Amino acid sequence: MLAVIGGSGLSQLANLDISHREVVRTPYGDPSGPVTLGRICGEPVAFLARHGYGHTIPPHEVNYRANLWALQKLGAQRIVSVASVGSIRPDLKPGDVVIPHQIIDYTWGRKSTFHEGPDGKVTHIDFTEPYDADLRRQLMDAAASAGVPVSDSSVYAATQGPRLETAAEIDRYERDGADVVGMTGMPEAALARELGVPYAAINLVVNYAAGRADSRHGIKFEAIESVLQESMSHVRSIIGELVMR
Ligand code: HPA
């Protein structure tokens, strides 16, 4: 089964033929909400809104462990994360779709491992390639079939939020090698790896990052809203193609 974690602008999958919703209890507390189960083109799909169905949970308060554990419990064999990002690079414009290949983690204070507590064994995962290569390939093939151009190599900077960045922070992330910036990519990707579930991300660029291009004098939230409204359909089409792969 494919599972989709939807971020801002994707609190439901319009093309999902819903069968039921499931409240999953986990050893890590409550997920962001009940998981919606159903089919797209006859194929089983699970959907979870990362920020809750009423968009009430900020990035640093998302219970990433409960979300991933719940999806695996329900039988997720691959997990696609959908999240909006700011662009650090001039050639990645609002409305563009990115399938990132690397991550730099600037988050702090989040519960970022399943392996802790008195009974936990010290466990290290290999995270050289943070996203699953096969699933990334499937996403790129799905995007090609859907006729959506995607950028297939971008470094994702995961920031703590919920505030946006300063211009100097964005300059620093660029020097570090980041191309896009978002608040929810970590620890989600690492937790999926700990569970052994293939995980990859689709990022929708919704603004230029702080201090860049038309965000030179500040970020315009109304503009972000309209990009989400106009361009999330591209992400939906990619998912529609992905379920059949
Ligand atoms: N910064 C961090 N997260 C984001 C941004 C941004 O500019 N845009 C969308 N998510």
Ligand 1 pocket check for 184: Cβ under 6 Å:
no
Contacts of 221-229 with CB under 8 Å at 24 or more apart are 223/94, 224/84, 224/94, 227/94, 227/95, 228/8, 228/9, 228/84, 228/204, 229/9
Partners of residue 201 on adjacent β-strands: 81
Does ligand 1 have an atom closer than 6 angstroms to the CB of 187?
no
**CA–centroid distance, residue 198 to ligand 1 (Å):** 25
Pair 51, 21: CB distance under 8 Å: no
What is the value of pTM for the model shown?
Answer: 0.96
Please state, in angstroms and as integers, the Cα–Cα distance from residue 96 to each residue in 58, 172, 245, following that order: 24, 23, 23
Ligand 1 centre distance from Cα of residue 138 (Å): 26
The pairing of strands 155-158 and 180-182 is parallel
Ligand 1 atom closest to 165 (CA): 1
Q: What's CA 87's distance to the chain center, in Å?
A: 15
Q: What is the pLDDT of residues 62-112, one digit of tens each?
A: 999 999 999 999 999 999 999 999 999 999 999 999 999 999 999 999 999
Return the pLDDT at 118.
80
Element (H, E) at 158: strand 155-158
Interface confidence (ipTM) of the complex: 0.99
Ligand 1: centre distance to CA 207 (Å): 7
Instruction: Give the distance (Å) from ligand 1 centre to CA of residue 60.
Output: 13
| pLDDT value for 120 | 75
Look at residue 80 in the predicted model and tell me its pLDDT: 98
pLDDT at 9: 86
Contact at 8 Å (CB) between 79 and 172? no
Residue nearest to atom 6 of ligand 1 (CA): 86
Greatest C-alpha distance within the chain: 51
- Select from 93, 155, 207, 227 the residue to mutate for testing ligand 1; criterion: most ligand atoms less than 8 Å from CB: 207
Task: Give φ, ψ of 174 to 5 degrees.
Answer: -65, -45
CA–centroid distance, 182 to ligand 1, in Å, is 5
Burial 168-197 (b: 16+ CB within 10 A, else e): ebbbebbeeebbbbbbbbbbbbbbbbbbeb
Task: Tell me if 182 CB under 6 Å of ligand 1.
Answer: yes
| pLDDT value, residue 44 | 96
Determine the straight-line distance between the first and last CA of the chain, rounded to whole angstroms.
11
Q: How far apart are CA 95 and CA 231, in angstroms?
A: 6
Instruction: Find out whether 24 and 41 touch, Cβ atoms under 8 Å.
Output: no
Closest CA to 185 of 100, 94, 96, 127: 100
Going residue by residue through the chain, which has 245 residues, state the pLDDT in tens, using 9 for 90 and above.
Answer: 999 999 998 988 888 999 999 999 999 999 999 999 999 999 999 999 999 988 899 999 999 999 999 999 999 999 999 999 999 999 999 999 999 999 999 999 999 999 998 877 888 999 999 999 999 999 999 999 999 999 999 999 999 999 999 999 999 999 999 999 999 999 999 999 999 999 999 999 999 999 999 999 999 999 999 999 999 999 999 999 999 98
